[in-house]
Structure 1
Amino acid sequence: MPVRSAGLRPGGVGPGRGTAERRGRETSVEGAASVARESDLCPDEAAAWERLRIASELHDLVAHDLSVMTLGVGAGRVIMDKDPERARQTFRDAEESGRRVLSDLRRMIGLLRMDGLSRGPQPGLGELPDLLDDFRASGLAVSLTETGTRSGGPTLELSAYRIVEEALGNALWYGMARTATVTLRWLPAILEVAVHDDGLPRDSLVGTWERAALFGGSVAEHPLPGGFEVRVRLLRPA
């Protein structure tokens, strides 16, 4: 059963390799390679690459400001009784960092926009029964089993919802499946999502890999006698 971490693709380079100077050179080389790639792309594709590159830079700034804000709040809490005025200033600085983070996040989300997609509240596991009803109406007899207590927040629930959605869609439209079972297991530190169907073998699910990587998870996809299974493990936030 092939089980691989979703955090690193084959051929990828893990963290901690080389010195800061070498990393700087590698960044410059990557930037030049990106420009070369973009010259071969159509205007829409080139714009999408550029948005991703700028969003990556903003991500680093947001991560830094969040670190500063978190440290500031922690420091203010420690000195609150001994030096109230200094603590108040620390909280004011953290508040300003929070505003800056929110502003940069809005810019980053704007860069990552995908035209044509609807915007608004995102689904969670509470909407999963409606999703399964839609697949049943499309000809896939699907059942759901869930064990354990839900927790982990809306981002984890959204990822689990999309993983189920992609796996069932792949089973119905590419695997020609007619029946499927969805299993959610809430373990102490892990959410396990399994989708088992009676369809044909098929390609990997790109979206599932990316969503698993968000939570340091793993993905196992393999044919079974008379069917196919996708099993994803997501690390639950502490």
Structure 2
Amino acid sequence: MSSNRTPTNYDHSRPSAPVSRRGIVRMGTALGAMGLLATATPASAVGGAPDSDSAPRKPILVGANPGLQLFDKSGSCTAYISTWQVEWSTHGAGNAVVLWRPDGVRVVGEDPHLALWLADHFVRHFPELDGLPWSAPRFHRSAVQVRLDLASGLRARGGGIEVRMAEVLDRRAFATDRFPLAGVEHSLSLVLGPCGRARALVDGRAQPGEINRGGTPDRPSSSAFLAAAEVWRA
């Protein structure tokens, strides 16, 4: 997404179509999607429908991945924070935080093998960062504490980064077999919880910018969102 793009977020219950995370829960009037979800399949089909390719896809990550994107008054992204709580993956388990800002990318976690894989395989290819510069991540070894609750929100901190989200507006399932990462389609399923309030601190300073909220009363969306029960397959 370019710096002036309409922010997006996950929204699963749209008919299947080519996905870009931006289509999932777009913010603004059309915010129904993080572009990645243009190809979403109904949640009822998860686990029951065949994969879109001939070879069955296997899980590569199971966990949670809340996201927070902030924008200035002109609509430019001032920060994007991807929080990870990995229960299992092909690169290990643990918590991590990936912070994108115009001045660079910071990755925090205890295991660089896992944390840098999350940044390079996933975050750098998310639609929220389309059109934005991606520099070589700077890794900071630190424990990351994550408390995620679909009823109340998120609190995560580690390596000088602190993220808080509250006022969960909705909870809905999402699934797609067409989520592209570096040109390779992955399968993704999760439970989305857009949030009405969020705050981020980096090295003790509140990050500039605000979240974007949109959608409808029945289908709210936000650039601050919980993503739980998340499974990636490739």
State the TM-score, normalizing by the size of structure 1: 0.24
* Structure with the largest fraction of helix: 1
Higher strand share: 2
Q: Which has the larger radius of gyration?
A: 1
Bigger RCO (CA 8 Å, 6+ sep): 2
